[in-house]
Amino acid sequence: MTAGKSMNYSQHNLSDTIVALATPPGVGAIGVIRLSGGDAIRIVQKVFGGKDLTKQASHTLHLGTIINDEGIILDEVLISVFKAPHSYTGENIAEVSCHGSPYILRQMLELFIKKGARLAQAGEFTLRAFLNGKMDLSQAEAVADLIASTSQSSHQVAMRQMRGGFSHEIKKLREELINFASLIELELDFAEEDVEFANRDDLKKLVDKIQGLIRALINSFRLGNVIKNGVPTVIAGRPNAGKSTLLNALLNEERAIVSHIAGTTRDTIEEVLNINGVEFRLIDTAGIREAQDQIEAIGVEKTMEKVRQAALLVYVFDVGEMKIDEILTDVGKLQREDMQLLVVCNKMDTNPYFKPEWLMNPNDPSIPEYFFTEGKRPSHPSSLIPHPSIITLSALHGMNIPYLKEKLYDLVISEQVNLESPIVTNARHFEALQKASESLDDVLRGLAEGVTSDFVAMDIRRALAFLGEILGEVSTEDLLGNIFSRFCIGK
Ligand code: GDP
């Protein structure tokens, strides 16, 4: 472990001036090429037809031309000048906005490289911003999330994280903890004299406070993950239950052809359902439409495999066809403890007598015999379905579809959760928080048992190291390489 900001990041030479395309490759109205490093402005100046850029103030824009070595004007451009340390990376930055032709952009990149810049590595701009103290590591990671965000909620969470998010709070508490650690370590120097510089009650209070924050963050991870990656959802049920019809009603479009003849509906699109900014990723919608598959599938390995990948199971059945015991058996086979369940009683237009409450209480004597296979009531139903998980609707007539959407949303975003509060979306942070929390538990246990200062100090140091990992104050080159290599070049 080395202190993040003073370390030598071996794969890159950080004193180079780097260049990369900052906009997507391809044709666009404009394309932006970004240079960062000590020579950024000088390099652009070498090929710029216009004012002397090296003499311009930071945060200014300049119109001119870029001229290659043959004296040919490549493009008319607008240059933004940012001077160190007041830029994204903390270095000199020149951004060249040109016309978005792949030819121009390529020529221009080659020209800047010829004049002394090096092509940037993936994430190197943000890496430099981190190393120059412009942002902490969790903020840098949020930049990647922000670029990758596809929904309103994932964007919102990444944006907050990038602007500081929970790292400010962690930083503050970590500093308080560092003070305690140093006081306790000071005690070690006076071991013979049995003094206490660090007030144990205050320390316990602080550790409790940090634990509270860390636990809330740990708990937010499930939701954070949902927001960032979507909810893997599986729609299962017997053939002709109305799964395709339901899918179409949810997606509000007729992508798949629904047919009376089982097996005629085939489609291989990965569908994403967006409800209030939360993405439900529908696993294997093609499978839903392969009727033959489904006939064999209930209870068999293939369906189970899909269900294993899911965080949410939507079980659909036809209220005109299915018996109570069959429904409960199907659900019993499919359900898993760590998965959320929604049971959709479909085709309510065909059987107004069906009552969803029966699924919760199949022993209710008022349920007519014909709702059970061969009229036999199960003495020990294999599963009972809790009330909030049942919804009645008609997929064909679009009845109750908005309510179904509301229900899906509520299942994953419980009402208590506030998108305004800090949310952990990053697995690395989650792990570090868990380890920090364990170390803090050790600190509390040590304090309760009255262990000697050196043990308390050791546990505090460990907790500090894990908290520091989140902020990047303690980091390894592997970790940095891992994080920044996932960025695109130009960021
Ligand atoms: P899947 O095999 O589970 O995908 O079932 P489909 O979506 O292909 O539906 C099978 C048949 O049931 C089709 O003829 C649908 O029109 C019909 N169906 C689906 N939902 C309803 C509904 O709510 N009411 C009625 N009456 N028919 C429905």
| Amino acid letter, 153 | S
**Is the pLDDT higher at 483 or at 439?**
439
**Is residue 291 predicted with pLDDT exceeding 50?**
no
Cα–Cα distance for residue pair 80/16, rounded to 1 Å: 20
Answer whether 245 contacts ligand 1 (Cβ < 6 A). yes
The mean pLDDT of 288-310, rounded to a whole number, is 57
For a substitution probing ligand 1, which of 271, 294, 396 has the most ligand atoms within 8 Å of its CB? 396
Question: What are the backbone dihedrals phi and psi of residue 296, each rounded to the nearest 5 degrees, phi first?
Answer: -85, -15
pLDDT of residue 469: 83
**Is residue 45 predicted with pLDDT exceeding 60?**
yes
What is the Å distance from ligand 1's center to 272 Cα? 21
**Atom of ligand 1 lying closest to residue 395 CA:** 23
Answer whether 4 contacts ligand 1 (Cβ < 6 A). no
* Strand duo 93-100 + 28-36: pairing: antiparallel
**Is residue 440 predicted with pLDDT exceeding 60?**
yes
Mean pLDDT across the chain: 80
**Is residue 11 predicted with pLDDT exceeding 60?**
no
pLDDT of residue 363: 83
pLDDT of residue 47: 97
Answer whether 240 contacts ligand 1 (Cβ < 6 A). yes
Answer whether 381 contacts ligand 1 (Cβ < 6 A). no
Cα–Cα distance for residue pair 144/141, rounded to 1 Å: 5
Question: What pLDDT, in 10s, does the model give residues 83-105?
Answer: 999 999 999 999 999 998 889 99
For a substitution probing ligand 1, which of 235, 238, 240 has the most ligand atoms within 8 Å of its CB? 240
Answer whether 258 contacts ligand 1 (Cβ < 6 A). yes
The protein residue with its alpha carbon nearest to ligand 1, atom 11, reads 240
What is the Å distance from ligand 1's center to 29 Cα? 47
**Is residue 1 predicted with pLDDT exceeding 70?**
no
Cα–Cα distance for residue pair 146/430, rounded to 1 Å: 18
Share of the chain above pLDDT 90, in %: 29
Label residue 303 by pLDDT band (50, 70, 90).
low
pLDDT of residue 71: 95
**Is residue 346 predicted with pLDDT exceeding 70?**
yes
Answer whether 241 contacts ligand 1 (Cβ < 6 A). yes
Question: What pLDDT, in 10s, does the model give residues 207-226?
Answer: 998 888 888 778 777 666 67
**Is residue 374 predicted with pLDDT exceeding 90?**
no
Question: What are the backbone dihedrals phi and psi of residue 159, each rounded to the nearest 5 degrees, phi first?
Answer: -60, -45
Label residue 273 by pLDDT band (50, 70, 90).
confident
User: Which 3 state secondary structure label does DSSP give 17?
Assistant: coil
Answer whether 261 contacts ligand 1 (Cβ < 6 A). no
Do 298 and 236 contact (CB within 8 A), yes or no?
yes
The encoded tokens of residue 417 equal: 């959760």
pLDDT of residue 270: 54
Q: Where are the beta strands (DSSP E) in 319-383?
A: 340-346
What is the Å distance from ligand 1's center to 83 Cα? 64
- The single residue listed with the structure tokens 């006076």 is 190
Label residue 6 by pLDDT band (50, 70, 90).
very low
Answer whether 394 contacts ligand 1 (Cβ < 6 A). yes
Identify the CA nearest to 190 among candidates 466, 368, 488, 452.
Answer: 452
Answer whether 287 contacts ligand 1 (Cβ < 6 A). no
Identify the CA nearest to 405 among candidates 231, 220, 154, 242.
Answer: 231
Number of residues that this document lists for the chain = 491
Number of other residues whose CB lies within 10 A of the CB of residue 369: 9
**Is residue 394 predicted with pLDDT exceeding 50?**
yes
Cα–Cα distance for residue pair 462/455, rounded to 1 Å: 11
Label residue 298 by pLDDT band (50, 70, 90).
very low
**Is the pLDDT higher at 160 or at 120?**
120
Answer whether 458 contacts ligand 1 (Cβ < 6 A). no
pLDDT of residue 73: 95
Label residue 254 by pLDDT band (50, 70, 90).
very low
pLDDT of residue 175: 86
The encoded tokens of residue 359 equal: 């699924």
The protein residue with its alpha carbon nearest to ligand 1, atom 24, reads 347
Cα–Cα distance for residue pair 408/410, rounded to 1 Å: 6
Label residue 29 by pLDDT band (50, 70, 90).
confident
Read off the DSSP letter of residue 117. Answer: -
Question: What pLDDT, in 10s, does the model give residues 139-148?
Answer: 777 777 777 6
Alpha helix ranges (H) inside 298-400: 301-309, 324-334
**Is residue 390 predicted with pLDDT exceeding 50?**
yes
pTM of the predicted structure, to 2 decimals:
0.55
Cα–Cα distance for residue pair 318/243, rounded to 1 Å: 10
What is the Å distance from ligand 1's center to 243 Cα? 7
